[in-house]
């Protein structure tokens, strides 16, 4: 594989413009290997999702059917819909998780090999060794968020106005914590010595002083990626609208056809692929904040100068004088 020109180093202090532009530069210069990782690590989960849809029926068009005037669901419908929706959510979450780890692993190997990733075997080995840690982090994160929201919601329901004020305090706090924890999964992949709990503390350390920069970058990039997601969501909406409208007598039968299943799979596959664009800026933010705190780019330049320095011909003959 030829070396990308110019090479985009990970450990480099970046301001807003560089974080923004380097995200897209990194994506397009490495779109080939990143897409291969997507095919290897994510597409099997998409295949599982298709089998799941065939088993539980079409969730998307079932949602559209709820708006038909003669819709009368029974307990079995609610059970099937709940299982189907939850199953797709879990499969999609795992697919996104795999794509986050795969992207971070590639960025690490890309940096270690100075932009020349000739053998993807090292990337795959790294993914296998890190997927458990990242999964553990997200499970812990979801558990804490659910507990906090449940606790605050319960207090709000019990004490009225005081609870609402509490919500106004907790919501910004959750946003603050989320921004600081953006690079925690990146740390788990990039640093072998960091565990789940260590990555949380290290994320807050590295992000100190960079909150607003990261917040604006992630907000704008999130908006762009969100707009791009509609390309993949649009077919699902079209199928839902057709199901909602139905036929004149309300006997639309699209829920038993392939349209709903295919549109759902297309949506999942596209949104998960865009996780690459969501993960690259987090990797670049990690590299920028770590360079700012620990000066890795300066140390790297010193190491290169030391390795490139010519050998002193007199040094080895000191004893002859």
Q: Where are the domains of the chain?
A: 16-300
The contacts of residue 151 (CB under 8 Å, 6+ apart) are: none
State which of 69-83, 152-166, 217-231 shows the largest mean pLDDT: 217-231
Mean pLDDT of 313-320: 49
Q: Give the model's confidence band at 117: pLDDT under 50 very low, under 70 low, under 90 confident, else very high.
A: confident
| Predicted local confidence at residue 170, as pLDDT | 78
User: Which residues, 6 or more positions from 90, have their beta carbon under 8 angstroms from its beta carbon?
Assistant: none
> For residue range 259-290, what is the model confidence (pLDDT) as tens digits?
777 887 888 888 888 989 989 999 999 999 99
pLDDT over threshold 50, residue 71: yes
Lowest mean pLDDT among 61-75, 140-154, 199-213: 61-75
* Cα–Cα distance measured from residue 124 to residue 130, given in angstroms and rounded to the nearest whole number: 10
Question: What pTM did the predictor assign?
Answer: 0.78
122 or 313: whose pLDDT is higher?
122
pLDDT confidence of residue 78: 67
As a whole number, the mean pLDDT across the chain is: 79
Buried b (16+ CB within 10 A) or exposed e, 105-139: bbbbbbbeeebebeebebbbebbeebbebbbebbe
Give the Å distances, CA to CA, from 13 to 88, 295, 304.
39, 9, 19
Higher pLDDT, 234 or 153: 234
Say whether pLDDT at 69 is over 60.
no
Q: What is the mean pLDDT of residues 117-134?
A: 92
Mean pLDDT of the region 2-27: 84
How much is the pLDDT for 226?
87
Output the 3-class SS for the chain.
Answer: CCCCCCCCCCCCCCCHHHHHHHHHHHHHHCHHHHHHHHHHHCHHHHHHHHHHHHHHCCHHHHHHHCCCCCCCCCHHHHHHHHHHHHHHHHHHHHHHHHHHHHHHHHHHHHHHCCCCCCCCHHHHHHHHHHHHHHHHHHHHHHHHHHHHHHHHHHHHHHHCHHHHHHHHHHHHHHHHHHHHCCCHHHHHHHCCCCCHHHHHHHHHHHHCCCHHHHHHHHHHHHHHHHHHHHHHHHHHHHHHHHHHHCCCCCCCCHHHCHHHHHHHHHHHHHHHHCHHHHHHHHHHHHHHHHHHHHCHHHHHHHHHHHHHCCCCCCHHHHHHC
Predicted pLDDT at 255: 46
Spatial distance between the Cα atoms of 264 and 267, rounded to a whole number of angstroms: 5
Q: How many CB atoms lie within 10 A of CB 56?
A: 19
């Amino acid at each position: 594989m030829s070396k990308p020109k110019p090479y985009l180093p990970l450990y480099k202090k970046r301001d807003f413009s560089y974080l923004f532009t380097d995200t897209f530069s990194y994506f397009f210069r490495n779109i080939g290997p990143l897409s291969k990782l997507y095919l290897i690590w994510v597409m099997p989960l998409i295949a599982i999702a298709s089998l799941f849809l065939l088993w539980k029926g079409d969730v998307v068009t079932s949602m559209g059917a709820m708006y038909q005037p003669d819709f009368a669901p029974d307990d079995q419908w609610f059970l099937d819909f709940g299982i189907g929706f939850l199953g797709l959510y879990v499969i999609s979450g795992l697919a996104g998780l795999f794509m986050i780890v795969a992207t971070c692993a590639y960025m690490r190997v890309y940096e270690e090999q100075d932009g020349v990733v000739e053998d993807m075997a090292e990337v795959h080995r790294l993914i296998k060794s890190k997927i458990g840690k990242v999964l553990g982090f997200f499970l812990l994160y979801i558990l804490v968020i659910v507990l906090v929201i449940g606790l605050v919601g319960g207090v709000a329901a019990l004490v009225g106005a005081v609870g609402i004020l509490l919500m106004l305090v907790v919501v910004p706090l959750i946003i603050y914590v989320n921004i600081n924890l953006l690079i925690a999964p990146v740390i788990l992949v990039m640093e072998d010595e960091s565990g789940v709990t260590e990555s949380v503390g290290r994320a807050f350390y590295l992000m100190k002083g960079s909150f607003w920069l990261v917040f604006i970058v992630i907000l704008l990039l999130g908006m762009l990626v969100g707009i791009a997601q509609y390309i993949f969501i649009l077919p699902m909406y079209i199928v839902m609208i057709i199901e909602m409208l139905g036929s004149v007598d309300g006997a639309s039968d699209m829920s038993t056809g392939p349209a709903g299943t295919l549109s759902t799979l297309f949506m999942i596959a596209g949104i998960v692929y865009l996780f690459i664009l969501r993960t690259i800026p987090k990797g670049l933010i990690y590299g920028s904040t770590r360079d700012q705190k620990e000066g890795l780019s300066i140390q790297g330049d010193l190491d290169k100068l030391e390795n490139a320095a010519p050998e002193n011909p007199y040094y080895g003959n000191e004893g002859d004088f």
